[in-house]
Amino acid sequence: DAGVIQSPRHEVTEMGQEVTLRCKPISGHNSLFWYRQTMMRGLELLIYFNNNVPIDDSGMPEDRFSAKMPNASFSTLKIQPSEPRDSAVYFCASSPGGGRKGELFFGEGSRLTVL
């Protein structure tokens, strides 16, 4: 079975541009998480969804960030406009329910560089 698929793997953009990161969770998983990893701040939870519904977006840095999950097989994280301080690796993870609740399956990440 395919794991969590993220795209693009690498993105270099200029300040002010819109960035869209994409995630396809593992089929059958009912929770989806977006994390950001930097050297300075470590691994930060940005937002998570249960059954496609956003549950907690308190970690989203500011209004420039938005996330959607229009269906069970797709989610996006958008940054508009992007700033150099947004440079980080963004991870998507999905999680099954039931007895494996809380076990996260991570994608390979999207490395964003904002110049």
Partner 1 sequence: AQSVAQPEDQVNVAEGNPLTVKCTYSVSGNPYLFWYVQYPNRGLQFLLKYITGDNLVKGSYGFEAEFNKSQTSFHLKKPSALVSDSALYFCAVGGSSASKIIFGSGTRLSIRP
Contacts with partner 1 by CB under 8 A: the residue count is 23
Closest CB 108 distance from partner 1, rounded Å:
5
- The SS3 call for residue 96 is coil
The burial class, CB within 10 Å (0-12 / 13-18 / 19+), for 70 is exposed
Query: By rule CB under 8 A, what string of x and - marks binding of each residue 47-76 to partner 1?
Result: -x-x----xx--------------------
- How far is residue 105's CA from residue 92's CA, in Å, rounded to a whole number? 8
Binding site for partner 1 (CB under 8 A): 4, 31, 33, 35, 42-43, 45, 48, 50, 55-56, 91, 93, 95, 101-109
